[in-house]
Amino acid sequence: MALIVHKYGGTSMGSTERIRNVAKRVAKWARAGHQIVVVPSAMSGETNRLLGLAKELAPAKPDTAYNRELDMLASTGEQASSALLAIALQAEGQPSVSYAGWQVAIKTNDAYTKARIESIDDQRVRADLAAGKVVIITGFQGVDENGNITTLGRGGSDTSAVAVAAAMKADECLIYTDVDGVYTTDPRVVSEARRLAKVSFEEMLEMASLGSKVLQIRSVEFAGKYKVPMRVLSSFTPWDIDIHEEAKSGTLITFEEDEQMEQAIVSGIAFNRDEAKISVLGVPDKPGIAYQILGAVADANIEVDVIIQNVSKDGKTDFSFTVHRNDYARTTDLLKDKVLPALGATEVVGDTKICKVSIVGIGMRSHVGVASKMFRSLSEEGINIQMISTSEIKTSVVIDEKYMELAVRALHKAFDLDQA
Ligand code: ADP
Ligand code: ASP
Ligand code: MG
């Protein structure tokens, strides 16, 4: 008998028919003698619908009172899907109970809309499991120390599931979704993408942070920190497939780097359309400019990603960086109003129609020429590289958004990712 956490995403919970299917699958696992905790997402489209209603009444803004209400609102999506799943399980003859995050309680900090989990009290969950119930815990949410409901950021149910698995020392966390595992790149963009039977935790962390939305990055961080065995698999297989076959399907996130992994130089390609580029032009080249520019941005709680500073000519230089597109207007306004006059720089210009494409692989550590192969492949397609950033196991380029799919396809082929 094992303690297993199942997580089902929005599409998997998308209709009463699908919820019934999830219930049959979960009941099958419980009948096999396992203790099961299920963490569901809201039904697909529900979180967007709720947040859309809020925006009809007042546009999104960096305002604590407003964000608190967004969390009150968005958290109801998971509350509904969790109760529906409990009802479906009971209809299957499987005793089940659902809890909202605050009832467990999953304690978080008070950063509304992007709260972080601080602790989980699993007492009542364990008691229910011992009584033979399947326990359902809403994904995506928790409660702060003053009793306010918080949410964990978009895609946050993955993090709820892994955090529950970590807190309860579960034997495994199974992330059921609408694809049958982690692919070399998004299979909806490149049809030749291949499923990876295993991916190292480090690579998964890079892929998630570079834009592969199959797992929320915080969930991978949790899995790494607490060594939670984790697998991504499909909720669209027939619910009654053999449980042993199901347990081995999908993609395992592994903490060991085996020989086969070392052979693959590049394991996957990630892309991200959520960023915008900002350049401060004609900055006097003297000590402290990076701090003056990026310090002001950080003070406004805006995260910066790729950064480049050019060589100076006649004592002046250009300084560019990327931020999330949602922060673009705020960042340029801030630079124009406060930083430009203080620095004596010439101009702030920006571009929101960019994307970041990255190759990821632990094999890159021990191979030279990987980045240059990437650049050659992009040049053969006539794609101009605007920015580059590298780390030990990834190389990212910022390019014009309209070439994103072309770039991902070309790189997928250049690194033979379509070959088994
Ligand atoms: P869920 O609702 O189950 O959480 P998501 O939509 O958040 O599902 O994540 C699954 C989606 O992630 C897939 O439908 C796929 O389009 C996308 N995706 C992006 N990159 C990858 C990748 N490398 N492998 C698999 N899926 C990916
Ligand atoms: N329902 C939330 C979202 O749409 C959380 C999740 O699905 O993981 O972002
Ligand atoms: Mg998701």
- Taking the C-alpha atoms of residue 348 and residue 340, their distance in angstroms, rounded to an integer, is 8
Cβ(273) – ligand 1 distance below 6 Å: no
Cβ(179) – ligand 1 distance below 6 Å: yes
Q: What is the pTM of this model?
A: 0.93
User: Of all atoms in ligand 1, which is nearest to the CA of residue 216?
Assistant: 7
User: Of all atoms in ligand 1, which is nearest to the CA of residue 188?
Assistant: 16
First to last CA, the chain: 35
Domain boundaries, the chain: 3-256, 260-420
Cβ(155) – ligand 1 distance below 6 Å: yes
Q: Which helix (H) or strand (E) holds 379?
A: helix 370-380
Q: Is 188 annotated as a binding residue?
A: yes
Using a 10 angstrom Cβ sphere, with 0-12 exposed, 13-18 middle and 19 or more buried, the burial of residue 270 is buried
CATH homologous superfamily for the domain 260-420? VC0802-like (3.30.2130.10)
Q: Which tokens is 339 given?
A: 């930083």
User: In this structure, are residues 183 and 194 in contact, taking their beta carbons and an 8 Å threshold?
Assistant: yes
Q: Which helix (H) or strand (E) holds 27?
A: helix 16-31
User: In this structure, are residues 197 and 184 in contact, taking their beta carbons and an 8 Å threshold?
Assistant: no
Note down pLDDT in tens along the chain; length 420 residues. 899 999 999 999 999 999 999 999 999 999 999 999 999 999 999 999 999 999 999 988 778 999 999 999 999 999 999 999 999 999 999 999 999 999 999 999 999 999 999 999 999 999 999 999 999 999 999 999 999 999 999 999 999 999 999 999 999 999 999 999 999 999 999 999 999 999 999 999 999 999 999 999 999 999 999 999 999 999 999 999 999 999 999 999 998 766 555 467 899 999 999 999 999 999 988 888 899 999 999 998 899 999 998 877 788 889 999 999 989 999 999 999 988 888 888 899 999 999 999 999 988 888 888 999 999 999 999 999 999 999 999 999 999 999 999 999 999 999 999 887
213 CA distance to ligand 1 middle (Å): 5
Closest listed ligand to the CA of 113: 2
- Taking the C-alpha atoms of residue 296 and residue 340, their distance in angstroms, rounded to an integer, is 11
183 CA distance to ligand 3 middle (Å): 15
Query: Looking at residue 314, what DSSP letter applies?
Result: T
- Taking the C-alpha atoms of residue 133 and residue 199, their distance in angstroms, rounded to an integer, is 33
Q: Which tokens is 387 given?
A: 């920015």
Bridge partners of residue 183, in order along the sequence: 195
Q: In this structure, which amino acid lies at residue 15?
A: S
- Taking the C-alpha atoms of residue 81 and residue 12, their distance in angstroms, rounded to an integer, is 11
User: Of all atoms in ligand 1, which is nearest to the CA of residue 11?
Assistant: 2
Cβ(268) – ligand 2 distance below 6 Å: no
Using a 10 angstrom Cβ sphere, with 0-12 exposed, 13-18 middle and 19 or more buried, the burial of residue 76 is middle
Bridge partners of residue 107, in order along the sequence: 119, 143
Q: Do domains 3-256 and 260-420 have the same CATH topology?
A: no
Cβ(203) – ligand 1 distance below 6 Å: no
> Phi then psi for 340, rounded to 5 degrees?
-55, -50
What CATH class does 3-256 carry? alpha beta
265 CA distance to ligand 2 middle (Å): 33
